[in-house]
Amino acid sequence: MKWTDLDENWCPVARTLSLVGDRWTLLVLRDCFLGMSRFDQFVSSTGATRHLISDRLKRLVEAGIIEKQAYSERPKRYEYVLTEKGQEFAPALMAFRDWGKKHLPVRRTSKA
Amino acid sequence: MKWTDLDENWCPVARTLSLVGDRWTLLVLRDCFLGMSRFDQFVSSTGATRHLISDRLKRLVEAGIIEKQAYSERPKRYEYVLTEKGQEFAPALMAFRDWGKKHLPVRRTSKA
DNA sequence: TACAATAAGTTCTTATTTGGAACTTAGGTC
DNA sequence: GACCTAAGTTCCAAATAAGAACTTATTGTA
């Protein structure tokens, strides 16, 4: 079974996962909430490959979660911003954040 | 970059994703919240391969999110139940559910 | 006794996805 | 004219997932 097959699932959690259920997509969304909007920002912030970021941004745009907007005409340059539908994803990311803060503290591995 | 490399990330969202940031893991957790606990239930409910379920259950046990418990001695049979750490993941799944209900309604494709 | 069934996995081969680096395009700057 | 930036795309090798069959231990049934 491939992941897009979940999009017609009876369960709203499964349908949501068919869209955003992979780590890079969710990291891109996190970055959007942190105020990032440009391709290279997503690449360096997430550590994902340019290929993946390109793919995930396309899916998110197609799903209406973010929008592609030109911020420069010559040369043509675009940025990505959350739509209202995307904004409403905030509670999910906050739940992830809270769980991570509580249950996965960073181990400081060196130099005090 | 591989996904487990996110486990030491400064961002709690990224650390959480290093553990549960894939669709099958999250679907298994959903099933746990729905009261399922057995291997074959996870397989048929999620539609993932036995191989994947096996792998994801291992990771979740290792992370202390679920626990493996024997429910039969002869033959040895195990089931998986949420730990308290796992229970506390509920808000994240509820946020996914709410978002999905609102923004991804099921299209009825045939027979009224 | 033999035959099928159940549960929880593992193993195998093939297909799909991802990683990593280099290349492209369209202008701008020194 | 040589180099820089931003936003991608292309390529091939490596990792991961799909799908089906097999395993192990035990119980229930004809």
Task: Output the DSSP codes for A37-74.
Answer: -SHHHHHHHH---HHHHHHHHHHHHHTTSEEEEEEETT
B23/chain A closest Cα distance in angstroms: 5
**Paired tokens of A4:** 């897009």
Covered bases, chain D (protein CB within 7 Å): 5-11, 15-21, 24-27
pLDDT single digits (tens) B22-77: 999 999 999 999 999 999 999 999 999 999 999 999 999 999 999 999 999 889 99
- Does the beta carbon of B91 lie under 8 angstroms from any beta carbon of chain A? yes
pTM (predicted TM-score): 0.93
Contact A91 B98 (CB under 8 A): yes
Q: Give the pLDDT confidence of A24-59 residue by residue, as tens digits.
A: 999 999 999 999 999 999 999 999 999 999 999 999
Task: Report yes or no: B83 and B69 within 8 Å, Cβ to Cβ.
Answer: no
Q: Give per-residue pLDDT as tens, A61-70.
A: 999 999 999 9
Q: Do A12 and B89 touch (CB under 8 A)?
A: no
Is residue A11 a contact partner of residue B30, using CB atoms and an 8 Å limit? Answer: yes
